[in-house]
């Protein structure tokens, strides 16, 4: 069966996408539609496959699966449809699934690669200032996307609500992700890395104010609550612990609705 190969590249990882071409008329349209949606939605991170590429961190095979299983959870009585299977670094994803379900698989693959590669996923927004990333953390409703909008006239938005932090050499960098973000409308995403300047825990207030946080227990509590896949058994916890020992540029940022005050504080 004819196959088409692509490489998805981000945060230093290469994920090979392998689309099997469907000949049957009943399957051809659905397979072609899913492939086009994936190529369009992740276009900044996908390129034609270089078959001689040495580093391939994971492979996703798109297949037509007529044997998908529906499983019922015994405690909740909820039903779940199996959309992919895994053998080592190879994942088999069903053409009967949607682009949103593909993102769920991509999140899982990304988290697994990061936990081995010195990085983690974070619920955060960020802007680029003087070539470095200013990162903003806070619970839902704290204003992660709002503060990026306030600053976007002067600083380049990097993320609305999700980003990657990864160690490269002896430093940590912010990477944009290929994932859908709730606000949309970011400038064209890239595979570039940005050194982290400061991490802010944000709160809405009447007046703009910044103060450094030195309380390690408080920092840990605030930071760990914004991890994606935050389970104690997860290897990400080990990676984050190393990051917290390395990085100490944490601040509280209180910001009003007027962006001028915040821009002045950030310099």
**pLDDT of the chain along its 267 residues, tens only?**
568 899 999 999 999 999 987 676 677 888 889 999 999 999 999 998 767 678 899 999 998 876 666 777 788 888 777 888 899 999 999 988 899 999 999 999 999 999 888 899 999 999 999 999 999 999 988 999 999 998 888 899 999 999 999 999 999 999 999 999 877 667 789 999 999 999 999 999 988 899 999 998 899 889 988 988 755 556 667 888 889 889 999 999 999 877 778 888 887
Cα–Cα nearest to 213, from 231, 224, 225, 199: 199
- pLDDT, tens digit, 9 for 90 and up, residues 13-44: 999 999 987 676 677 888 889 999 999 999 99
Domains in the chain: boundaries: 3-117, 120-266
CATH topology of domain 120-266: Phosphoenolpyruvate Carboxykinase; domain 3 (3.90.228)
* HEC-encoded secondary structure of the chain: CCEEEEEEEECCEEEEEEEECCCCHHHHHHHHHHHHHHHHHCHHHEEECCCCCCCCCEEEEEECCCCCCEEECCCCCCEEECCEEEECCEEEEECCCCHHHHHHHHHHHHHHHHHHHCEEEECCEEEEECCEEEEEECCCCCCHHHHHHHHCCCCEEEECCCEEEEEECCEEEEECCCCCCCCCCCCCCCCCEEEEEEEEEEEECCCCEEEECCCHHHHHHHHHCCECCCCCCCCHHHHHHHHHHHCCCEEEEEECCCHHHHHHHHC
């Amino acid at each position: 069966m004819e196959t088409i190969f692509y490489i998805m590249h981000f945060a230093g990882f290469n994920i090979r996408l392998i689309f099997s071409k469907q000949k049957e008329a009943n399957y051809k349209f659905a397979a072609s539609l899913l492939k086009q949606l994936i190529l369009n939605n992740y276009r900044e991170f996908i390129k034609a496959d270089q078959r001689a590429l040495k580093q391939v961190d994971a492979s996703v095979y798109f297949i037509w699966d007529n044997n998908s299983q529906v499983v019922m959870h015994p405690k909740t009585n909820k039903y779940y449809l199996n959309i992919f299977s895994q053998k080592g670094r190879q994942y088999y994803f069903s053409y009967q699934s949607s682009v949103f379900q593909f993102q769920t698989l991509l999140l899982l693959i990304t988290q697994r690669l990061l936990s081995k590669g010195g990085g983690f996923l974070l619920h955060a927004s960020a802007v680029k200032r003087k070539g470095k990333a200013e990162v903003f953390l806070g619970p839902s409703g704290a204003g992660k996307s709002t503060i990026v909008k306030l600053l976007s006239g002067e600083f380049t938005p990097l993320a609305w609500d999700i980003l990657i932090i990864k160690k490269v050499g002896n430093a940590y960098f912010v990477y944009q992700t290929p994932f859908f973000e709730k606000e949309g409308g970011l400038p064209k995403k890239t595979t570039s890395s940005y050194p982290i300047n400061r991490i802010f825990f944000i709160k809405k207030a009447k007046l703009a104010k910044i103060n450094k946080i030195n309380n390690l227990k408080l920092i840990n509590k605030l930071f760990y609550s914004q991890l994606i896949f935050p389970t104690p058994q997860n290897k990400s916890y080990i990676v984050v612990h190393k990051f917290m020992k390395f990085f100490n540029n944490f601040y509280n940022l209180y910001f009003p609705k007027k962006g001028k005050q915040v821009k002045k504080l950030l310099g």
